[in-house]
Amino acid sequence: MQVTGFLKNLKTAVKANSQYSQIENKMSEAVKQVTQNTIHPSDVAKAILEAVTSDTPDFRYDVGKDGTMIIEARKNMSEREFQNLIKKQSNLQD
């Protein structure tokens, strides 16, 4: 579900033959994959409402399956392992 026109309206200053075009293409594909699995903004709004109205708010609120997975992965991985996971998910790993 694409809720906003973010990808459609995205403008880049990278020229097709620049040294950054490969990274830009990889990041563009990663963003497309992420946006295909986005949660509805109302779910985020519910979490924000819970946080601001709670007498004892949590430090973090995970919203959606991907948020939960990332938080759990971070808890169970070293810094290097987590960075490699993010690179892999962002299609930036060599």
Residue 67 in any domain: the answer is: yes
What does DSSP assign to residue 12?
Answer: -
Total domain count for the chain?
1
Residue with token string 């946080």: 51
Contact 24, 14 (CB under 8 A): yes
Query: Percent of the chain at pLDDT above 90?
Result: 24
pLDDT tens-digit map of 48-64: 999 999 999 998 888 88
Range of the domain at 31: 6-89
Distance, CA of 27 to CA of 89 (rounded, Å) = 10
pLDDT at 51: 95
Band of pLDDT at residue 94, cut at 50, 70 and 90: low
Q: Is residue 94 a part of any domain in this protein?
A: no
Does residue 15 fall inside a structural domain? yes
For residue 6, pLDDT beyond 70: no
Max CA separation in the chain (angstroms):
54
Is the pLDDT at 79 greater than 60? The verdict is yes
In tens, the pLDDT along 64-75 reads 887 788 888 889
